[in-house]
Structure 1
């Protein structure tokens, strides 16, 4: 019985810890390598100033591109998508860039992609969730 209780407690602690990442934050950190964002999901409060630290541990330039609300890219990121960008930051290989932006005021889910050619196709995508403050 004690072993079962211990196992249940460990599972509960894991669930609480894993779900803790869903709290809105005004400070984000993303690691970028070929072809992944870590983490790939972010939650921020609407209309607040957001600071992001983008760490490029990859061998090529990576971008963290937030698309406008309701906008997603098609088969690959291209020139036709430039007008649908809410905000973006770029980091050279081996570099860390810290930047700020004002979060969108409209709550909802926003697509995040790497705008470097071929990276979207390779799966370098994420999700930004904007929540009411």
Structure 2
């Protein structure tokens, strides 16, 4: 009996550790190696972000601080509209198959070309998370969004203009 309990506890602990690698709510990913040019504070409520429009200069490194004041888990993802749509489809598929944990690692990078390479962070209710990101030089318009099923469609997205 004790062996079975120990195996179950170790399995649960390793699943939790592996599941939080890319969509952490523990203030990750936070790259402290690059100087921060600007800090932007956002509030994630249930089905909205405030502010819902951002303007960032090309090449500017921004530290986003996102506080979830709602009752639901949210994510903050930066990407172009096509990649965001692909990411939403992936999230719907994961949610419908075996009750996939939305906080699991499924993307984490600084590129903009695919859902797997979009900078992102998950924010649990009542918590704050940070994400450091450098605005690209060659893209004018991106968007930030929560792609947990139903959240984007309910209005949880915003414009991110690269101007300067």
User: Please, what TM-score do these two structures have when normalized by structure 1?
Assistant: 0.69
Q: Which residue matches 1:58? A: 70
Partner of 2:90: 79
Q: Equivalences for 1:1-133 in 2 at 5 Å?
A: 26-68=38-80, 71=82, 73-74=84-85, 77-79=88-90, 83-84=114-115, 86-132=118-164
Matched residue SS, 1:77: helix
Higher relative strand content: 1
Matched-pair contact (CA < 8 Å) for 2:74–2:122: yes
Taking CA–CA contacts closer than 8 Å with sequence separation of 6 or more, which of the two structures ends up with the larger relative contact order?
2
Cα pair 1:31 1:55 within 8 Å, conserved: yes
TM-score with structure 2 setting the length: 0.57
> Which structure 1 segments of 5+ residues have no match?
1-24
> Could you say which residue in structure 1 is the equivalent of 2:23?
none
Return structure 1 stretches of 4+ with deviation > 6 angstroms.
none
Q: CA RMSD in A?
A: 2.6
